[in-house]
Chain A
Amino acid sequence: MSADRRRAAPETADTGGEPAAARSESDRLADHAEIDRLTDDLVPALIAKLSATGLGEIEVGEGSWTVRVRRPADATGSHSRRSTDRSSRSQPGHGGHGHAPGAFEGHRPMTGAATGSSNGSSPGVAAAGSTRGDGDGHRSVATSPAVGIFQPRPEVRSGTRVRSGDRLGAVDMLGVPQEVVAPADGIVGATLVEPGEAVEYGQELIVIELAARSGDASRTAERSEA
C-alpha cells in the first residue's frame, strides 16, 4: 500500500509549492497554509482509503482545490514483503560508514551555489531525471529519481547515442524500479556510480555529452571507459 504514497496526488495544488517569485508573498503564504492543511489532513487520509480499497483513483473537491490520488498502474500490490530487499543491506560496501564512499558525503550540506535546486523543486512533478550543466554547457547529467539501488541498462554503454527521455537504467526502491532517463539528446559518457550501488535522491548518475559536441563527447566516453 505504501508504495502508492510515492506518487500520491500529483495534481495536488502543485503550483503553490513552486518558488513563484512573481507572486505576492501573501498569496504564496496563503497557498502554503492551504497546502499544509491538505498535505497534513486530506492527502494521508485519501492515501489510506486508496490503500484500503481496491480503487485505482480517488478524487475530492473542496473550495477551489481538487485533490486526486491515483494508484500507479505498475505498483499495485508491489509492496509485498520482499525478502530480496534484505540482500541489499548485506551487500558489500553498504554496511556502516563504509558504504557508497563519497556518494552521500558528496551531497552533504553547505555546498553553496552549487545546490541551487534545493528549494526549487516542484511538488508533483516526477523527477525521473534532470539536467545539470557542468558549467561548460556541453554536458548534462541524469540524476537519481529515488533512494535505492542503481542498475544501469546493460545496453547503455558509454558512446551510446541517446535521446531525451530514453531509459538509461533504474533505481530500485523497495523492489519498485524508478526509471533513470536521459535529460537531453546526446551521447552517454561516464557512469558515475557502479551498478548495484546505493544512491540517494537527486544523486548524479550518468553523464550525457550533449549532441552538439558529439565529437568531443565520444572521445570523453572512450577515456571514461578505459
Chain B
Amino acid sequence: MFRKILIANRGEIALRILRACRTLGIESVVAYSEADRESLPVQLADEAICIGPADARRSYLSAPAVISAAIVTGCDAIHPGYGFLSEDEGFAEVVRAHDLTFIGPPANILERFSNKESTRRLLGSLGLPTIPGSNGILRDDEHALSEGERIGYPLLIKPAAGGGGKGMRMVRTPRELEASLNVCRSEARAAFGDDSLYLESWLDETRHVEVQIAVDRYGRGVHLGERDCSVQRRHQKILEEGPTPALGPEARNDLCMRAIRAIVSAGYENVGTLEFLVDRDGNFFFIEINSRIQVEHPVTEMLTGIDLVATQIRIAAGEPLGFSQTDVITRGHAIEFRINAEDPEREFRPAAGVVERYLAPGGPGVRMDSHLFAGYEVPPFYDSLLGKLIVWGPDRATAIARSRVALDEMLIEGLATNISIHEALLTNETFLEGRWTTNLLDRVGSAAFLAAASRG
C-alpha cells in the first residue's frame, strides 16, 4: 500500500480523496494553486504545497509542477481526481517514469482506450451492442457519403479523440453531411489535435445510462450497478440517480453483466465507467468509457456501501479487489444533485464571490460532499461545482421526498446557485415518472422550464 499520496486536485474531490486516504491510514499532501490557498481541503490537509498560480495551466494542469511536488514531499503516488490530468495518458506515463504511481489505469491501458472509435470497435467485438456506424475512421468525403448511405440518416458526426460533446454534429441529409465534414474536422483538430471522424446513427429521445465497474490487476472485476445521467444541460450532467428508471431489474442486470464481461476481456484495470445510450424500447448501445473517478460516484457508494475512491487507491497499489460480484448488493435508490455556482436567471452564467452563509442539509440518507464554508471566496478560475447533495431512500419516492426536504434546508448565501433547477425538477411530472431524456432541458429551454415550474 502507498505511504503518502499527492492529491492533485481541488474543491470537493480533493476533500473526498483526503477522506479516503485518512480512512485507509495513508498520509496525504494537498497540491494547490495560489487561488486555493484558503480552501477547505488545504485547511484540513495533513500537509499542503503550493504548486503554481491560479491559472490551471501552470498549476493543476502542469505535469512537471504536480510531479515535482510529489517528489519533494516524499509521496509515492498521485491521485488526479477528475478533470485536469485525470485521463491524460502522457501524464500517467511521466508519473510512472518517475517511479511514482498514477492512481487510475496504467498509462498503456489509458492509451488503449483513448480513441473512442477504436474502443467502440473493441468492445463491440467483445459483445457490447454499439450504435450502427461507419466502419472505422472516415477516409475522405466519398467514404463518408457511402457510409452515410449504408447506415441511413439522420447521422451523428463524431471526432474519434473527442469528449464532452465537442465537435459533434447531427446531419439529416447527404448534403448536410458533405457540408459539415470540413467544419467538424477543423473543430476536432482545434479541440483535440486530431481530426479523425466517424459516423454513428442518430438516436432520438435517448437516456444516458452508465455502468460503474472495478477491475483489479489480476483480471478480477465486478460491476457496481448503473447510474442514470439523463438530466443534462448542454451535455453537462446536473442530476444523476440510480438505479435507472428506464430499465427493469432484469434488463439492468443484463446491461451490467455484459459491461463487466466485455471490459474484463478488454484488459481494463481500476475503476471506470461504461457509458450507454438507451432508446425508447430499452435497447442499449455502448458509446464510451471514462477511466477516472467520476463526479457522480457517490450515487453508487450510497447504493452499494462500497467506497469507490478507496477501492481505486487499493487497486492502483496492486491489491486484489477483495470482494466478488455476489458481495455487491444494491439497495434502495439514490439521487445526486450537482450544486453549481451558476445563475439560472442569467443563462446559467458562472458566479463567483464570497459564501456569506452556508448550511448543509442533514437527516436520514442525506450526504453533502462540499468544500464550502461561511466566508469562503469561490475563485472565478475553475469549474462552478460547489458541492454535491446525495440523497438515499429505500425507494425512489422516498429518495425524492427526502431530497425536497434537503434542498429546502440547504442554505448558500452570497452567490447565485442552481438549486432552483433541482427544486423545479422535483415537481416535474416527466422527471417524477422517470421518463426524462437527455435533450429535454435544452429543447424546452432552462428559462421556460423554471418559469413553468414556478407557475405550477
- A residues near B, CB below 8 A? 1-3, 5-9, 12, 17, 26, 28-30, 32-33, 35-36, 39-46, 48-49, 51-52, 60, 62, 79, 81-82, 85-86, 88-89, 94-97, 99-100, 104, 107-110, 115, 117-119, 121, 123-124, 127, 146-149, 173-174, 176, 198-203
Residue of B39, B98, B193, B377 with highest tally of chain A CB at under 10 A: B193
Stretch of B266-274, B314-322, B346-354 at the chain-chain interface: B346-354
Cβ contact of B91, chosen from A2, A117, A198, A199, cutoff 8 A = A2
**A109 to nearest B CB, angstroms?**
4
Contacts of B194 in A (CB 8 A): 49
A149 touches B380 (CB 8 A): no
Contacts of A52 in B (CB 8 A): 193
Taking CB as reference atom, which chain A residue is nearest B46? A97
Of residues 90 through 127 on chain B, the ones whose CB sits less than 8 Å from some CB of chain A are 90-91, 94, 97-99
Contacts of A36 in B (CB 8 A): 350, 382-383
B53 touches A127 (CB 8 A): yes
B58 touches A123 (CB 8 A): yes
Contacts of B51 in A (CB 8 A): 147, 200-201
Separation of A124 and B56 alpha carbons in the complex (Å): 10
**A28 to nearest B CB, angstroms?**
7
Separation of A28 and B51 alpha carbons in the complex (Å): 25
**A8 to nearest B CB, angstroms?**
5
B50 touches A28 (CB 8 A): no
B64 touches A118 (CB 8 A): no
A to B CB contacts below 8 Å, 19 in the list: A5-B61, A6-B62, A32-B352, A44-B61, A79-B94, A95-B74, A97-B47, A99-B72, A99-B74, A104-B73, A115-B38, A118-B38, A119-B377, A121-B55, A146-B68, A200-B49, A200-B51, A201-B51, A202-B34
B99 touches A147 (CB 8 A): no
**A203 to nearest B CB, angstroms?**
8
B352-396 interface bits toward A, Cβ cutoff 8 Å, 1 = contact, 0 = none: 100000000000000000000000010111110000000000000
Main secondary structure of the interface of B (DSSP, over half): mixed
Contacts of A28 in B (CB 8 A): 380
Contact A200/B50 with A109-B38, A176-B64 known, Cβ cut-off 8 Å: yes
Taking CB as reference atom, which chain B residue is nearest A109? B38
Contacts of A119 in B (CB 8 A): 34-35, 54, 377, 379
Separation of A100 and B58 alpha carbons in the complex (Å): 23
B74 touches A49 (CB 8 A): no
Contacts of A44 in B (CB 8 A): 61, 88
- Interface size on B (CB < 8 Å)? 60
A42 touches B69 (CB 8 A): no
Taking CB as reference atom, which chain B residue is nearest A16? B380
Contact A45/B193 with A117-B34, A201-B52 known, Cβ cut-off 8 Å: yes
Question: With an 8 A cutoff between CB atoms, is B233 at the interface?
Answer: no
**A51 to nearest B CB, angstroms?**
7
- Top 9 nearest A-B pairs (CB, nearest first) are A123-B55, A49-B193, A2-B63, A198-B72, A81-B97, A121-B53, A109-B38, A200-B50, A173-B68
B4 touches A96 (CB 8 A): yes
Contact A29/B38 with A1-B90, A17-B55, A39-B57 known, Cβ cut-off 8 Å: no
Cβ contact of B65, chosen from A33, A85, A107, A147, cutoff 8 A = A147
Contacts of A123 in B (CB 8 A): 53-55, 57-58, 381
Using A49-B194, A147-B65, A174-B68 as known contacts, list a sample of 17 further A-B pairs with CB atoms less than 8 Å apart, ordered by residue number in A: A3-B64, A5-B58, A6-B65, A8-B61, A32-B352, A36-B382, A44-B61, A48-B192, A49-B193, A52-B193, A95-B74, A96-B74, A104-B49, A109-B37, A109-B48, A119-B35, A201-B50
Contacts of B22 in A (CB 8 A): none
Question: With an 8 A cutoff between CB atoms, is B262 at the interface?
Answer: no
